[in-house]
Amino acid sequence: MSGPEKPKVIGEELNDERISDFLKLQPYDANENADYFVLIRAYQSLRAGDFERFVGFFVAAGRDLNAVNGDGQTILDHVSEHGRSGEYADCLARAGARKAAEAGQ
């Protein structure tokens, strides 16, 4: 039998431990900014409400909301490019995230 060991579950409620586990992620490339990597993975994986909870954990851990990728983009720059990401952009802005041009990057 082939396939995943655990079937995909959609709409599963995530507890704080599962959400904060994103903080443990490490980029594959040593040259990639670890804070940006963690933020982008959480953005790609979490629903807006869970992402907002994650951002709280991220900030509490002293991580950099204005970290940039190799193109000089912050997570707010990236999220703002997507038409349906308003909730994500709003929660980032409330937490102190800025676009690269505003952050002086």
Please indicate, yes or no, if residue 85 is contained in any of the structural domains: yes
Domain limits at 59? 32-103
| DSSP 3-state of 40 | helix
Please indicate, yes or no, whether the overall pTM of this predicted structure exceeds 0.75.
yes
Could you state, in chain order, the average pLDDT of each consecutive group of 10 residues for the chain (105 residues)? 54 83 92 95 94 96 96 95 92 95 71
Task: Give whole-number Cα distances, 102 to 29, 84, 87, 96, in Å.
Answer: 27, 22, 20, 11
Please indicate, yes or no, if residue 46 is contained in any of the structural domains: yes
Give the number of domains in the chain.
1
Task: Give whole-number Cα distances, 80 to 5, 22, 93, 101, in Å.
Answer: 35, 21, 11, 13
Please indicate, yes or no, if residue 80 is contained in any of the structural domains: yes
Please indicate, yes or no, if residue 58 is contained in any of the structural domains: yes
Please indicate, yes or no, if residue 66 is contained in any of the structural domains: yes
